Structure 1
Amino acid sequence: MDILLAIVAIALVLGIAFLMSNDKRNIPVKGIGIMLLIQFALTWFMFNTDIGQTIIIGISNVFSKLIEFGMSGVNFVFGGLAFENPDNPQVFFLNVLLIIVFFATILSVLTHFKILPIIIKYVGGFISKITGLPKIESFNAVNSMFFGQSEALIAIKSQFHRLTDNRLYIVSASAMGSVSASIVGAYMEIIPPQYVLVAIPLNMFSALILASIIAPVKVEDEDDEVDVKNVSQSKSVFEAMANGALDGGRIALIVAAMLIAFLASLEMVNWVIGAVASGWTLEELLGYALAPITFLMGVAPGELVSAGSFMGTKIITNEFVAMSQFMEVSGDLSEKTVGIVSVFLTSFANFSSIGIIAGTVAGIDSEKGKTISSFGMKLLIGATLASILSATIAGMFL
């Protein structure tokens, strides 16, 4: 029964994307089919085979060790405050967000030595070859698994003159449907690591699938080049480390500021709702609104509203707000619901991302920035559908 409901959910997601498509005749059906098969095979392998489980455990252990290294730096600066009571939300900034600094430093160094750019280029090229999608879009999708929305788009700024409106939609959707590797460690401190690790590649393919349906593209070879020569401006490894640390600190502060703003705003909205309709909250309203789709995704009947509330909170605020609330009750939910919600939350698909992406693109090309703003809501819907698709596929194998 759960498999049947999941198939209905997938068909519904793809159907909505088809209705939104601005070029239904040129949808790359073959490429989309291949990516769906990859998602099914990858999820089955990671969740249902001993080798897949070993890989997940191995990668989780690597991240745990990196987090341990990062916490040694936090502990030195803050004198052990972070370790006094790890579950105390008052040290959330120390235990979770400051880990971003170390991860951003590692990414910066790997980029300086051109290790990541070369891996991303060739993995993107492989995806382009097997799916028939353009190289720039494939490269950007893989790049978005490692770098944040702004960084991923800036990495292809030299190719922006090649991007039509449809191509611009696809690269923007990939950026919104992804996460940054620099904050993966922070996610893994809040929700189960195995679901974060599976969500990253699933969301990459889901974003490409939905964006390719909504805004199909077909390009000639001369309009499809990827250049990774000047991806790092650092002159030495020490400059790369310094730049990465500063970027990580900036991200951590931005996330902290957004958490303060969004959680305070959410509390205010709930106060207003409570004054009008006693006992109700925005999260509950969102939960009931999204309950039908969570049912199709495979969430247990008794947990539909709860799951929907976290999903809705993530869309209107951001993933950290939803994760922090989800962490408090995840122990009371079934393993399948935890997996489905965790995968859904692991992406940048929310309202605030529209402004981030539009601002980044405007900084590169003002006219294209206006284009992004004009289809901002369409971008959010597409990225949210991608999150639903990823979470549904994950749920089929839990």
Structure 2
Amino acid sequence: MGIILGLLAIIIVLGIAYLMSNDKKNINYKGIGIMLLAQLIITWFMFTTQIGQTIINGIAEGFNKLIEFGTEGIMFVVGGFELQEGGVFFFDVLLLIIFFATILSVLTYLKILPPIIKYLGGIISKITGLPKVESFNAVNSIFFGQSEALIAIRSQFHHLNNNRLYIVSASAMSSVSASIVGAYLQMLPPEYVLVALPLNMFSAIMVASIIAPVNVSKEEDHVDVENVSEDRSVFEAMGNGALEGGKIALIVAAMLIAFIASLELVNWLIQLVFAGITLQEILGYIIAPIGMLMGIAPSEVVEAGSVMGTKIVTNEFVAMLSFEPMLDTMSEKTVGIVTVFLTSFANFSSIGIIAGTVKGIDSTKAGAVSAFGMKLLIGATLASTLSATVVGLFL
């Protein structure tokens, strides 16, 4: 029964995307079918085979070792503070972003990451028939943040019509950057966070390719990774990476303060009219129907839905912080589904981040992003739902 409901949820997600499509005649059904099959194979392999378990555990151990290294640096700077039980979120989680951003910057300068991303994107492009730029951007979005992923294809922006712009923006919104993954792993089960990365990549381009189909010529489809780093030495790359990571950590901290405080304000206003009701509970009931189709148990669906809704209206960190205390009380299936859903940038604030980045690259295209901003958020949320549903089929 759970599999039937999960398949129904997948059909509903793709059906909503189809209804939103602006060019139904040119949808690449073959490519979408291949990507859905790839998602099922990846999830099956990671969760049900010994080799898959070994791989995902090995990756998790690698991240944990990097977290240990990062913690050494953090403790050198803040180790003299008297921390209460449970620690301080900024010190224990957010400052790790600095170390991970430094590693990514160095790997980019050494030209290790760019060719890998380019050729993985090329493979996806060949298999699915998607343009190279969109495929490259989808893979790039796994490693880098929304702004960085879009900046990496800035030389091709003059070729991007509104449909292509929608797809690359959707990929950026539906993914998460590797520099932040270390912070997520401090809060949620590693195996679900890590499997969400490739699943969200495919989900994003599947949903976006239905909503905004593209068909481009070879002349308009070229990826250049020669000048992705402007650093002149490995030390400059380390310095710039650390500064970028520090900026991200402070931005996340500022957003958490603003969103959590705003959420408390909204709940206070709601309770002036409806005593004992919160925005999270309202969102939980709204999301509950699709949550049950995704595979969440009826007894847990309102609570889980409230976390998922919180992520959409605030951001993933706020939702993860509210979900973390529930991990021991919810079933493994619900934990897996909700964790995968939370592992993306699909929220209202991302619309402004992406529109601002596009404006910095090509001011004439910023208006288009702002115009389809809500459509972008709906598509990215559908992508998160699709990834979480696929995971639910194997739990």
User: Which category describes the TM-score, using the shorter chain as reference length?
Assistant: over 0.9
Residue 72 of structure 1 aligns with which residue?
72
The number of residue pairs the alignment matches comes to: 395
Residue 141 of structure 1 aligns with which residue?
138
Distance 1:49 1:270 in 2: 45
Structure 1 runs of 4+ with >4 Å offset = none
Distance 1:235 1:70 in 2: 24
Identity of aligned residues (%): 72
Gaps spanning 5+ residues in structure 2: where?
none
Measure how far apart 1:87 and its partner are: 2.0
Residue 130 of structure 1 aligns with which residue?
127
- SS of 2:69's partner is helix
- SS of 2:70's partner is helix
Letter in 2 for 1:71: T
Contact 1:56–1:194 (CA under 8 A) maintained in structure 2: yes
Measure how far apart 1:79 and its partner are: 1.8
Distance 1:100 1:360 in 2: 21
TM-score (norm 1): 0.98
TM-score (norm 2): 0.99
Q: 1:87 aligned to 2:90?
A: no
Distance 2:261 2:197 in 1: 29
Distance 2:152 2:133 in 1: 11
Residue-by-residue CA offset, 1:6-58 (whole Å, 9 max, x unaligned): 01100000000000000000000000000000000000000111111111110
Listed as ranges, the matches of 1:189-200 within 5 Å are 189-200=186-197
Residue-by-residue CA offset, 1:145-194 (whole Å, 9 max, x unaligned): 00000000000000000101100000000000000000000000010010
Residue 183 of structure 1 aligns with which residue?
180
Residue 389 of structure 1 aligns with which residue?
386
Distance 1:247 1:127 in 2: 29
Distance 2:66 2:25 in 1: 47
Residue-by-residue CA offset, 1:247-306 (whole Å, 9 max, x unaligned): 000000000000000000001111111111001000000000000000000001100101
Distance 1:198 1:22 in 2: 31
Residue 301 of structure 2 aligns with which residue?
304
Residue-by-residue CA offset, 1:119-157 (whole Å, 9 max, x unaligned): 000000000000000000000000000000000000000
Letter in 1 for 2:100: F
Distance 2:85 2:161 in 1: 48
The one of 290, 309, 322 equivalent to 1:325 is 322
- SS of 1:331's partner is coil
Distance 1:324 1:219 in 2: 42
Distance 1:250 1:233 in 2: 18
The one of 243, 256, 262 equivalent to 2:259 is 262
Residue-by-residue CA offset, 1:288-333 (whole Å, 9 max, x unaligned): 0000000000001100101100100000000000000000122110
- SS of 1:228's partner is coil
Letter in 2 for 1:162: H
Residue 98 of structure 1 aligns with which residue?
95
Contact 1:75–1:81 (CA under 8 A) maintained in structure 2: no
Measure how far apart 1:109 and its partner are: 0.1
Contact 1:71–1:99 (CA under 8 A) maintained in structure 2: yes
Gaps spanning 5+ residues in structure 1: where?
none
Residue 24 of structure 1 aligns with which residue?
24
Residue 63 of structure 1 aligns with which residue?
63
- SS of 1:158's partner is helix
Distance 2:347 2:103 in 1: 27
Distance 2:334 2:84 in 1: 28
The one of 216, 224, 249 equivalent to 1:219 is 216
Residue 107 of structure 1 aligns with which residue?
104
Distance 2:80 2:90 in 1: 13
Residue 347 of structure 2 aligns with which residue?
350
Measure how far apart 1:81 and its partner are: 3.8
